[in-house]
Amino acid sequence: MATVYEDPFIKIATMIGGDEYHKVARSLLKSIDATDEEIASSTGLRINLVRKILYDLFGKSLISGVRVKDEKKGWFVYRWRSRREEVEGFIENQKKKIVDRLERRLSYEEGSEFYHCGNEDCRRVTFEDALEAMFKCPSCSQILEAQDNGPVKGALSSKIEAIKGDMQQTF
């Protein structure tokens, strides 16, 4: 689907919505200020799908639309163009959101003790829940034992570091 070297705008569109977004993004770069109808005919996608994708990209500030009068038809249409300068900001934003989520998860891991019965099919429980269940697993009734969540914390930390390191570089 995507080639090794490709415009960041096309890359990010593909990441958001896959093959169909890929087609629309390519079409937007190929012909600047195209209408939804023009994009539909150049991509072979249904007009409703093209509109949905355009509104989504517009909502994410990755494209802009200008309302102009179609001289032939006599009504107003939107002409769309990519906002390639927004791509980097968008990516940074996404990464920040992921880091935020991972950091919240990490502080949850750091602030809680977990107990587990050792049975792979059962979920771990917090100390409070283990206490309430008299240290018997709510699912299989086996004895709950303290679980070391060090590996989980380690994995979260290194993931956070990796994304933060990546954020210094350009896409």
C-alpha closest to that of 60 among 87, 25, 80, 41: 87
Question: 98 or 140: whose CB is closer to Zn ion?
Answer: 140
Residue number, 48 or 119, with CB nearest to Zn ion: 119
Closer to Zn ion by Cβ: residue 48 or 139: 139
Please say whether the dihedral angle defined by the alpha carbons of residues 44, 46, 52 and 58, taken in this order, is positive or negative: positive
**Contact positions with Zn ion (CB under 5 A) in 65-84:** none
Contact 168, 91 (CB under 8 A): no
> In the bound complex, what is the minimum distance in angstroms from residue 109's beta carbon to Zn ion?
20
Q: Is the C-alpha dihedral spanning 128, 160, 103, 171 positive or negative? A: negative
In sequence order, the 6+-apart residues with CB closer than 8 A to the CB of 135 are 115, 143, 144
Q: Is 48 in the site for Zn ion (CB under 5 A)?
A: no
Q: How far is the CB of 126 from Zn ion (least distance, A)?
A: 15
The least distance separating Zn ion from the CB of residue 142, rounded to whole angstroms, comes to: 5
* Min separation Cβ 108 and Zn ion, Å: 21
Report the distance separating Cα 75 and Cα 96, nearest Å. 42
C-beta of 63: minimal distance to Zn ion in Å?
51
Q: Which residue has the tokens 């968008």?
A: 90
- CA dist 151 to 108, 109, 116, 155, 171, Å? 14, 11, 15, 6, 30
Residues 109-148 that bind Zn ion (CB under 5 A): 117, 119, 122, 137, 139-140
* Residue closer to Zn ion (CB basis): 99 or 122: 122
Residues contributing to the site for Zn ion (CB under 5 A): 117, 119, 122, 137, 139-140
